[in-house]
Structure 1
Amino acid sequence: MLVSAFEEGCVADLNEIVGDLCAEGDVLDALVADLTDEQWAAPTPASGWTIAHQIGHLHWTDRASLLAATDTDAFAAQVAEAWKNPAGFVDEGADAEAARPARDLLADWRAGRSRLADVLRDVPPGTKIPWFGPPMSAASMATARLMETWAHGRDVADALGARPAPTARLRHIARLGVRTRNFAFDVHQLPHPTEDVRVVLTVPDGSVWTFGPDDAAQSVTGPAEDFCLLVTQRIHRSDTALTAAGADADRWLDIAQAFAGLPGAGRATTTTTEAGR
């Protein structure tokens, strides 16, 4: 399950992030709106997950997010139940949703993500929303939902042979990927890097996004889309055009993970279809 692994305040305005979250959902909605039942059952790059599982998981997580933002006691009970099966509750939720009629799942996902957007916009400044990991601000939760919608949407697109064009919305995911660098080392039980890393990412319109000190001795450079795919574990490093200068930067690209939980399995090279979630 992709959820924000780092809470340190969001630079972007909450309304902007929620708007981008809605836009990312609309892109995915357009991909699945007219699918047949057979297409809903099509396998995706995530091992064992169909398109229905992908949408079902997004709906399950949107619903959990909504509960966390509106009923903390009920959400605490859900967390306690989930941790009875920490390695399997994500798959269980996806399985249950995927077993429903596609038209019902689609309608509920649409209603749920719309409701969540409205609720997040109204969260008072300074409020922390509980989660399966550390509590988050509304802006961080919206960023996490955008990251997950985009990543699972990419799995759906891959299953359908589609290729949505990268957009400026990737900046939210790229920023989160940078800010979770130490977290990736934590979950692999490795010491934090001792040096800063400069991240320089290019986007199709010719823009360049930069993160980190200008004078950092180590760096990561390459396409923004590749970086976002890597930190959400939707691509193997060897299948990207990313380059690293420096030992810490190089190691980071091997273990990058912008979502909470145990180390993800990652995605294998293009010769196989095994994928992390």
Structure 2
Amino acid sequence: MTDPNVPGAPPVLAGLLADLRAESEALDALVAGLDPDGWALDTPAPGWTVAHQIAHLAWTDDWSELAARDPESFVTELRRSLGELSAAGADPIEEGAAHGAAEEPAALLARWRVGRERLAAALTACPADVRLPWMGPPMKAASMATARLMETWAHGQDVADALGAVREPTARLRHVAHLGVRTLGFAFTVHGLPAPQVPVRVELTAPDGGSWTWGPAGAADRVSGPALDFCLLVTRRRHRDDLALTAVGGVATSWLPIAQAFAGPPGKGREKGSSL
């Protein structure tokens, strides 16, 4: 059954887009009533305010929408943009966030809202089996929607930390956890380590008390704990030692400190004992 708010989307993609919309609206509710001082609050990301976090999401949504709507233009524009920024010695992610953060908060918020709706429409129109170009490996529409949900939740955590807000975990965390499991091999290779050749069983306690599992039941290497903690880990929003996660086996034990669900460099991550 398709989501009535996403006409024409295949069932799997429709569910993902509905969850992405809900995650975006939850973050929107955190920032919509902020005054200028609230938008200027520092978040755990060095040099990034609340405005930078929303600007980054808007920037990435815009690029994602272009990739889904016009893949050839995406490749052309990305090459041009990266060339210009490289020549200027600038980082594209930092530049995108800084540019958006300089806008009036109301204009930035409105642009993010429009952009995420345009992205949903563009992904809905994509053939399910077509891989879209991206700044990392190409991905299908469903994978792009999952990646956008993960980023929205992760950057939403930065905003929540800055505001001192506590978010209730939801079933949408399953998408973040799934991406965290699927990127196990990448987490090793991005750190210059060989990808493991043995399976890892992941058993997480869902927000409703149920169980989410990945990997063969008989695997010697295992990870278990709350789904929220695992998602905070793979988005590098909390230090591994501050989370109630258990690892058994050499691969599982080595994986947790370096786990990440996002492409690109791992970054510094959070300090032990601190969310900010």
Is 1:153 matched up with 2:156? Answer: yes
Shift of 1:203: 2.0
Shift of 1:100: 0.5
The answer as to whether partners of 2:38 and 2:50 remain within 8 angstroms in 1 is yes
- Whole-Å separation in 1 of the counterparts to 2:251 and 2:114: 43
**Structure 2 gap segments, 5+ residues each:** 1-10
Change (3 A) 1:230 1:87: farther
Other-structure match for 1:54: 53
Other-structure match for 1:207: 210
Other-structure match for 2:251: 248
* Deviates most, 34-43 or 197-206: 197-206
Other-structure match for 1:195: 198
Deviations 1:126-156 (A, max 9, x none): 1111100111100000000000000000111
AA matched with 2:130: T
Shift of 1:87: 7.3
AA matched with 1:207: G
Shift of 1:71: 1.9
How do residues 50-89 of structure 1 correspond to structure 2 at under 5 angstroms? 50-80=49-79, 81-82=81-82, 84-85=85-86, 88-89=91-92
Deviations 1:184-220 (A, max 9, x none): 1111111122321110000232101011000000100
SS of equivalent to 1:136: coil
Shift of 1:79: 2.2
The answer as to whether partners of 1:181 and 1:256 remain within 8 angstroms in 2 is yes
- Whole-Å separation in 2 of the counterparts to 1:87 and 1:143: 28
AA matched with 1:149: T
Q: Percent identity?
A: 58
Is 1:144 matched up with 2:147? Answer: yes
How do residues 198-237 of structure 1 correspond to structure 2 at under 5 angstroms? 198-237=201-240
Other-structure match for 2:43: 44
* Deviates most, 30-39 or 255-264: 255-264
The answer as to whether partners of 2:204 and 2:213 remain within 8 angstroms in 1 is yes
- Whole-Å separation in 1 of the counterparts to 2:275 and 2:223: 26
Number of residue pairs aligned between Structure 1 and Structure 2? 262
Other-structure match for 2:8: none
The answer as to whether partners of 1:54 and 1:156 remain within 8 angstroms in 2 is yes
Is 1:266 matched up with 2:269? Answer: yes
Structure 1 runs of 4+ aligned residues shifted over 3 Å read: 83-87
SS of equivalent to 2:273: coil
Other-structure match for 1:175: 178
The answer as to whether partners of 2:131 and 2:138 remain within 8 angstroms in 1 is yes
Change (3 A) 1:177 1:271: closer
Given the two structures, how large is their TM-score scaled by the length of structure 2? 0.91
Shift of 1:72: 2.1
The answer as to whether partners of 1:257 and 1:264 remain within 8 angstroms in 2 is no
- Whole-Å separation in 2 of the counterparts to 1:87 and 1:161: 32
AA matched with 2:255: W
- Whole-Å separation in 2 of the counterparts to 1:263 and 1:146: 19
- Whole-Å separation in 1 of the counterparts to 2:189 and 2:53: 28
- Whole-Å separation in 2 of the counterparts to 1:193 and 1:136: 23
Is 1:119 matched up with 2:122? Answer: yes
AA matched with 2:246: T
Change (3 A) 1:272 1:171: closer
Root-mean-square deviation (CA, aligned residues, Å) is: 1.5
SS of equivalent to 1:266: coil
Shift of 1:264: 2.5
Change (3 A) 1:107 1:272: closer
The answer as to whether partners of 2:187 and 2:258 remain within 8 angstroms in 1 is yes
AA matched with 1:59: A
Shift of 1:271: 4.1
